[in-house]
Amino acid sequence: MDKDISKGQKLTYAGAAFGQNIIYTFTAAYLMFFYTDILGITAAAAGILFLVTRVFDALNDPLMGFVADRTRTRFGKFRPYLMISPPVIALITILCFVAPSGPYVLLYAYITYFAWGIAYTFGDIPLWAIPSVLSRDLEQKTSAVTWSKVGGLLGQVTIVVGGIMLLEYFGGQWEASAYLKTALTLGIPGAALMVLAGITLRERIRHTESIPFRAGFKTLFQNKRIFPLMLAFFLFNLTLGLRAGMQLYYATYVLGDASFMMFIGGAIVIGMAGGMVLAPFVIKRYGPLLMFNISCLISGVISFIPQFTGYENRIQLLIWIAASFLWMGVANIAWPALLLSTVADSEKRTNLPIEGIFFSAQTFVLKLVASVSAGIAGLALSMLGYVERAEQTDRVINGLHTLMFAFPAVLFLLAPVPMLFYYRAVKNA
């Protein structure tokens, strides 16, 4: 019988998720603003850059999942990547925030961001797949994922609250060197926490058989649960990606104060933390499927409210943000439980250990979310008539408000629709 995953290992795993998320969230929240308002790349060109590079990069994720599943070392199949890839991720993150001069700024942005996506893939898939080989007990694996989600949330909040503070400390949001110094400050410890997890975690489930490429992907595509689950995951995370990309624009140009991002971050952490505390109790009683659907619907309804109440009353705005993120916190715990259950069911039916391939589907969706959300943001800013470092028109301000609230609300309300097909697949199994 497998030993329990120790609290120390869970804490280390949470630390790895924290380290990864401070790197990812800083890049997601600040890189587009860095491109448009610091490097002078147009919003449309920046949006296309994100869309093209991330869609192309996402196509590599299934291949990485297959490579991870075939990896056989004395350390396991996922741990080696957690020890090797984080320093590379940190280095390329730092390079992304270098401000080059001359006519090749856009080319430099394409090269560094494309490299960042590939490096991130090599660390992200093993990081989220490793709970599947830490224990055979589903409850233990779900517990480890819950710890990682808490760590990831703290990483996100660190950037939402502290990112702007670091920028101000290093010279302010309009100073190019401030972004580079912040990337250095975050990238090195973030990578170290991921490496620490690679060193300390123990893979208790070892597989010696070699998985044929065709058989692994055939199993993935024949699974009737995975595609509705990933579509719901896409819609849910598209709201997060869009909001992350818009927050600095929103605070700067709608609220007139970039430092207000600290208060938005405070509202997010209060809401998400409350949701994650609530999640184990409601999920245990009502199940992850029902709670994911209910949480998305409630978040959708709440997200619509600021569209009508406006942004003048900032206290009220923060309350609605916190309330929406509370239910997002519940959904953020419910969804991994559904994925782990799907992976366990597939392995039981096929006897093929293809955790990497299944989790590569998750990373593929996150990459797609990043590209689509950035593409939407860039094109929307261009269509609205956004001009960097200028007083914005009412059309731009109202458009930014809609992108922060009404548009995500629609996506939240759509997310439960694919889960009807997931439910049908479970019932017909």
The candidate with the shortest Cα–Cα distance to 159, out of 332, 17, 28, is 28
Over residues 287-303, the pLDDT tens digits come to: 999 999 999 999 999 99
Residue 1 has pLDDT above 50, yes or no: no
DSSP letter for 100, please.
Answer: -
CA atoms of 21 and 27, how far apart (whole Å): 9
Angle of helix 7-33 relative to helix 355-384, nearest 10 degrees? 30
Residue 266 has pLDDT above 90, yes or no: no
* CA 85 to chain CA mean position, Å: 18
Q: Which of 54-68, 151-165, 329-343 has the lowest mean pLDDT?
A: 54-68
Calculate mean pLDDT across residues 326-333: 90
Token digits of residue 331: 């959904």
- Scanning the structure block, which residue is given the tokens 């999640």? 279
CA atoms of 416 and 418, how far apart (whole Å): 6
Token digits of residue 187: 């990238």
Q: Which of 181-185, 197-201, 216-220 has the lowest mean pLDDT?
A: 216-220
Residue 213 has pLDDT above 60, yes or no: no
Residue 218 confidence (pLDDT): 67
Residue 2 confidence (pLDDT): 45
Asked if 149 and 13 count as a contact pair (C-beta separation under 8 A), the reply is no
Residue 212 has pLDDT above 70, yes or no: no
Residue 374 confidence (pLDDT): 75
Every domain of the chain and the residues it spans? 7-427
Mean pLDDT, the chain, whole residue set: 84
Contacts of 104 (CB under 8 A, 6+ apart): none
Residue 356 confidence (pLDDT): 62
Q: Residue 257 is inside which H or E element, if any?
A: none
Q: Where are the alpha helices (DSSP H) in 76-212?
A: 79-96, 105-129, 138-169, 176-200
Calculate mean pLDDT across residues 357-373: 75
- Scanning the structure block, which residue is given the tokens 């390079």? 95
CA atoms of 391 and 23, how far apart (whole Å): 31
Asked if 67 and 125 count as a contact pair (C-beta separation under 8 A), the reply is no
CA atoms of 403 and 68, how far apart (whole Å): 37
Token digits of residue 170: 């290093």
Q: How confident is the model at residue 211 (pLDDT cuts 50, 70, 90)?
A: low
Q: Which CATH superfamily is domain 7-427 in?
A: MFS general substrate transporter like domains (1.20.1250.20)
Residue 186 confidence (pLDDT): 95
CA atoms of 346 and 425, how far apart (whole Å): 12
> Any idea of the CA torsion for 106, 107, 109, 113, to the nearest 10 degrees?
140
Upper half-sphere CA count for residue 232 (Cβ side, 13 Å)? 29
Q: Residue 427 is inside which H or E element, if any?
A: helix 416-427
Residue 214 confidence (pLDDT): 62
